[in-house]
Each structure stands twice: as C-alpha cells, then as structure tokens.
Chains A and B, each alone.
Chain A
Amino acid sequence: MQFGLSESQEFLKDSARKFFAGECPSAEMRRLMDTDSAYDAALWSKLTDQGYTGIIFPEEYGGVGLGKVELMLLMEETGRALLPGPLFSTVVLAGSVLEAVSTPANKKKYLAPICRGEARATVAILEASASWNPRDVHMNATNGKLSGEKLFVSDAAIADFIIVVARNGVFVVDSKARGLKISPMSAMDLTRKLYVVEFSNTPAEEIGAATDLPRAFDIATAALAAELVGGMQRTLDITVEYAKTRKQFGKPIGMFQAVQHQCADMYLETESSRSAVYYAGWALGENSPDAATSVSIAKMYASDAGRAVGNRGIQIHGGMGFTWENDLHLFYRRAKASETAFGDATFHRERIASMVIDSGSASAKSA
C-alpha cells in the first residue's frame, strides 16, 4: 500500500503548479475576474496544449486518459491559482457527464471537441429550489423541447452547448438554439460566473438517462473538494508568510500562540482535507464500493474546512485581511461557492448517514 504520489503524479502536480503560476498569476486572475465571463481564449488554448481539457478522457476521443487521482491533483492546483474560467464546468462537469451517459457517437460529437479545446460547455442542474437532491429536478422535455428555468449554471454565457438535466433524461442544447436566454447572476465568486438559463420550447437532443448521472456528479464533487484543498493551501501559505513578517509589540505575530495555533489548525484542516480528497480520487478510479461514501466524506470535510481556513486566514491578517486588495477574500469567495455547489457539508453528512445508518452496514472499506 502506498498512499503517496507516484513520480509521474508528482510531476503532473508540479508542472501544473508552475504552469498556473506562470500563466495565471494573481494580477491575471484579477484581470479576468473583472471581465464579464472570466474566460480568456488565449489561456484556454494553453490549457489545451497542456492536455488539461482532456485529462481524464479516453484517447479515442482525443483525451489523455489519466486517472481520477491525477484529476484531483490538477484541480488542487487550479484551486491554488484560483483559476478563472470554465475548466471545471467544461472538462470536469460536462466532460464527465458526457462520458457517463452518452453513446460513443455522441462522445465523438460532444466530448471530443472538449478534449481538443474547441468547445466550452456546462451542465444545468438546479432549479428554483436550489436543491441538489435529484428528486427536486422538475424540468421535463416534451417532444424534444425544453421549457423552464435553470439557475446557478456556471459559465453558461461562454458555453457552446449546455447539458440539461431533466426528469426524463439528459439533453444537449446548442447555445444558438431558439428560445434560449442566458442572463448573469450576480454572485460572490467573481472567478466562476453563474447564470440563469431560460428555455422556451427550446430544441434539445437527448443524450442519455439521468440515472447514469451519479458517477459523473461524484467526480465533479470530488474535484470541487480538490479545488478547495488548493485554495486552503494557498490561504495557509499566504497567512504563514504574513505571520512571519508582520510585527506587533516588537515581534512577528506568528510568535504569539493565539496566532500560531490558528495556523496549526489551518494546517491540520488542509492536510486532512487533502487525505480525504486523494482517497476519494483513488476510490473513484478503482470503482471501489466505498467510492460514493468517500466522495461525500471529502466534500463534507473540505467544505467546512475551506470556510474555516478562510476565516482563520482573514482573522490573522487583521485589517489587511479585510481589504479588497488582499487576495484572501477572493479565495474565500470561491470557497463559499464551492462549499454549496454539489451539496454543502450538511447535505453530504445526510448522504453519509443514509449510507452508514440506513444501510445497516458501515460503508467505508477496511483494508
């Protein structure tokens, strides 16, 4: 048993970190967050050259064919860089849904352009209830047409097509389809924009059954937890650096235990989240029986930890932490958005409860 990264995994993580530090430093991230879509075509083409747009997909569709642990590592680094734009929506979310539900022909049609970096996409799930429970999806397709409203759809304005989760199936809607209206929602996270997507008798192509979605959503959920880990690590790094240099009462504030112990807790929360995310990635890759539970464990823990680490980081920065120019609040905003997306900690605790209490057997596999 080896719960450390292999040499090639270390290499991937390391090169992703360097790539994002070079291509999307803080100034660039801030420039993009002030644009309407937070999307940059030049950056997207560089992400494609790195193979990130096809990272986990089969080579026959132009993907790189890496595993779920590798996806977690990439997402950890995008989280550390607070990468703006539709990588999560397009690759992790839409890509995983296409892989899970669609036929080979539709994978060629929709997944392959994603892998090649030619198409952006997203998935529309939530409705007015904002509930992540699949029971609360009410939209129905009638004669290949969709009507109604989806909320909180990430990166919809720059998507070439939108995958829509309806009660009676999973559908693809072209961005130029008639009766489609996309309007921005004004939300906390400035780096991943959210939209209202309205359909009125909009033509939609059915690509699969909603019953095949859970695995794709588990991958997306774990990936968000991985992104949270990256955000936590960056927040911790920035905060420790600040605690070493900022002086009050003639000493670096990091010398005071009230500050030091908060930093220690940030470290504990970050590392524990990372352990849970790597395990979830491994379990997803192995199709292990505890994959779904371990995804919920990771998302539950990282959702709470992401917020806690952000709270501590801002507090330790004092007045500086409360300013717009300090980056911490940008990570904090993303952490809040990712905390609620695909179910917050309370949602996943209930999901764990249904697996460990109601099933009558402890779920997680013991070696």
Chain B
Amino acid sequence: MDLNLTTEELTFRDELRAWLVFNVPKDWNEWREKPIEESFPYLRAWQQKLHDGRWAAVSWPKQYGGRSATLMQQALFWEEMARADAPPMANSLGLGLIGPTIIACGTEAQKKRYIPKILSAEEIWCQGFSEPNAGSDLAGLQMEARLDGDLYVVNGQKVWTSYGWVGDWCELVVRTDASAAKHKGLTVLLVDMKSAGVEVRPLRQMTGESEFNELFFRDVRVPVENILGKVNDGWNVAMSTLMYERGSYGARLHLIFKRYITRLIELSRTIQRNGRPAAEDPLIRQKLAQCSAEIEIMRFNQMRAFSRITATGVPGPEGSIQKIFWSELNQRLQQIAQELLGSYGQLLSGDIHAIDKGIWSYAYLRTRGNTIEAGTSEVQRNIIGHFVLGLPRSY
C-alpha cells in the first residue's frame, strides 16, 4: 500500500494541470447557468480544445487518440478537471461509454468511421437502453428489429435518453430474436438519429428541466453493417458499457461534493440558530462532520476499487457499492443543506432572496434521481447480494 503518487502519475497530473491553467475558458461562469441548448456549441468547442491537447479521452488507447491512461490517471484527470472548474464535455456519453464499447466490440471499419468524430464532438452520441416497460429489467426490452435483406427495420420506444435532443448517433439495444431467452435475443445497433422515422420528444423531469428524451422509432431502417458486436450478443455488449458507466462515474464526485460541504460549512458560520451561528450548534456540527467524513470515505472506497481493478483488469460487481454510496451520500448532503438553509432552502433560481442562485433547491430535487439513474439502489443491492456475496438470485 502506497498512497503517494508515482512519478508517472505526478508527471501526468502536472502536465494536465499546466494545460488546464492556460486552456480552461475564463468565461465559463457566464455560460454555466444558461440552458444547455444555448451553451451546447460552447461545450463542443471546449471538447474540441481538449481533443487538440489529446485530453478528451485519456483512458482510450493511444492508437485511438487517447493516452492509455491508467485508472489512477483517469481519476487524477477528473480531479484536476473539477479542481480547475472546467466545463463538462459535450459528448460525455460518447467519450465515457459508447467510444470504449466501440473500441472493445467494434469492427475496424466502425472504429475508423465513428471514433474520430466522437473525440472531436462532431458527432454527439446518445444511448437507447431503457424503455417504458424495461427499466431495471433492461433485458425485458421490446423494441423490435426485423431483418429485411441487408437492413433492420426498427419499431418501438426508448425513454430516459440523455442527449437525445442533440444526438447524431444512438447506441440502440433492440430485440432481434423474440423466440430466444430474454438476454439472448438482443442486439446493439448504431443508429443515425437523422434516419427517417426517428422522433425525439423532451421528457420533463421533476426538477422542471429536460435532461432526457423519449425516442420513437417507426420503421427506421438500419444497415446490417451497423451491428455492434455480434447479432443476439447485445446483452454482453450493453453490459460492458454499463460497467464503464459504473467504473468511471465516481472519480469526479469527490471534489464536487467537497465543494458543496465546504460551502455549507462556510454558510454555517453566518446562518443563525438559537441565537448563535449554526456552526456552533452541536446537532448541525454532528451532521456536517458526518457528511465530511463520508465524502472522504467515498474517495477511499474509490481509490481501493481502482487499485483492485488495476490488479484484476476488469471492473467488477463491487463497483455497485460506489454507486450506492455516492448517490445516497448526495441525498444526505442535500438534506443537510436544506436543514441548514431552512426556509431559504426552497427558493428557486431567479428568486432575489435565493442563496447561491438557488442551486440548493435544484440539487435537493435532482438528487432524488441519483438513486434511480444508472441502476437503482435496489438493483445495485441485488448485484451485491448475488454476484458479490453469492446469495441466490431473487428474481
């Protein structure tokens, strides 16, 4: 066990840190609050800039435009991005999930065709996984793809699609064999979102915004060369993507959460409780301390998981504890924010009395989604129960 950074890790971090100092746009604060539709070209330009510096996809192999970064370097990448308060990248699903899946499962022609434009944010990707009747039970999805010569004809509906509104391409999971067992009859298709018969509708969520879309496919024609991986092997292709999702999610959260708690501690010094600053109230102190400690433990868990993955080569089901830990911690954190802010906690962005431009009311509502998206807490606990502890499958 040695928690000091190695020379390679230090070199990587210092190079990135120096690059970020010169390249992170100075006007991000003016754009941050704007609707994403408006800021999207700005985020594309930022990703292009990162790509020019070969920083857009550090985890990818060098031959595909990455840096073959180790997991620890990837963690450093996200830490440095958060530390520099850098904007997010436009094509985050393409870079984090779909690109790695194409590299792992795609043909040479597919890699050549799609990878460069994922990196440069010329083509934005979305993910068509969940359906109205297939959420946690993803393998029960029904979207039908019928082979017609050298084309698949696709019909059905997807939901909870991030970036659907701006997506040029979609990693779509479809049913190609209705007679096979449910995990066995699925195939992943790479679908041009400009194809005839694709309709994208915004899905308004409880925060009032629309991060997600519903996708409707009516007789959409997809050439067979757009199959990713093998026909009827879509479950394995899709799962390799979700592993990446669970693996890479956490690294950037430590500094984001730390920023929240630091701000709450700062606010606690001025907010009054029982005739004295909240920072002196024993109950508030207990809660802030608990949260600060858990934020550190989240990082220790992540660092241990990264070391384990580095040793074994693949993200394993233990990743489920990271997902449970960060999502439930964020909910506790935002609950403490609400307790601390009292009546001010409910004020929305735009209200002149709102503290920190209303981010706390937004964050409070948004965290309800954390224990649902990317695999509900219940599904994560099933994964731990069955795959880690070896208990019999419950469903």
Contact = CB atoms under 8 A, between A and B. Distances in A.
A229 to B, nearest CB: 13
Contacts of A357: 265, 268, 279, 285, 288-289
Interface in A227-277: 240, 243-244, 251-252, 254-257, 259-261, 263-265, 267-268, 271-272, 274-276
Contacts of A346: 286
Interface stretch (A21-29, A75-83, A132-140, A348-356): A348-356
Nearest to B300: A275
Chain A: interface secondary structure? helix
Contacts of B290: 300, 349
A5 B391 CA distance: 27
B262 interface: yes
A353 B382 CA distance: 35
Given A3-B304, A6-B1, A271-B301, A264 B296 contact: no
A260 B394 contact: yes
Contact of B293 (A5, A6, A349): A349
A367 interface: yes
Contacts of B394: 255-257, 260
Contacts, number: 168
Interface in A268-316: 268, 271-272, 274-276, 278-279, 282, 286, 294, 296-297, 300-301
A278 B300 contact: yes
A244 B255 contact: no
Interface stretch (B2-10, B110-118, B358-366): B2-10
A52 B306 CA distance: 31
B308 to A, nearest CB: 6
Contact of B2 (A1, A267, A297, A300): A1
Contacts of B288: 353, 356-357
Interface in B232-276: 254-255, 258, 261-262, 265, 268
A4 B385 contact: no
Contacts of A265: 381
Contact of A255 (B6, B303, B393): B393
Nearest to B259: A362
A352 B289 CA distance: 6
B392 A252 contact: yes
Contacts of B279: 357-358
Interface string A169-202: 0000000000000000000000000000000000
Contacts of A9: 1
Contact of A350 (B285, B311, B318): B285
A1 B391 contact: no
B6 A297 contact: no
A2 B8 CA distance: 13
Given A353-B285, A353-B289, A268 B324 contact: yes
Given A4-B307, A267-B321, A352-B293, A362 B262 contact: yes
B40 interface: no
Nearest to B254: A366
Contact of B297 (A251, A256, A301, A356): A301
A256 B296 CA distance: 33
A240 B389 contact: yes
A366 B292 CA distance: 13
Contact of A1 (B4, B294, B324, B378): B4
A244 B393 CA distance: 11
Contacts of B350: none
B340 to A, nearest CB: 12
Given A252-B392, A263-B391, A356 B304 contact: no
A268 B384 contact: yes
A207 interface: no
Contact of A297 (B1, B4, B297, B393): B297
A272 B301 contact: yes
Interface in B289-347: 289-290, 292-294, 296-297, 300-301, 303-304, 306-308, 311, 318, 320-321, 324-325
Nearest to A73: B1
Contacts of B36: none
Given A261-B385, A362-B261, 10 more contacts: A6-B2, A260-B385, A263-B391, A276-B296, A279-B296, A300-B293, A353-B285, A358-B279, A364-B296, A366-B254
Interface of A: 1-6, 9, 69, 240, 243-244, 251-252, 254-257, 259-261, 263-265, 267-268, 271-272, 274-276, 278-279, 282, 286, 294, 296-297, 300-301, 346, 349-350, 352-353, 356-358, 362, 364, 366-367
11 contacts: A1-B72, A2-B1, A254-B385, A263-B391, A268-B384, A271-B301, A278-B300, A286-B3, A352-B292, A362-B262, A366-B255
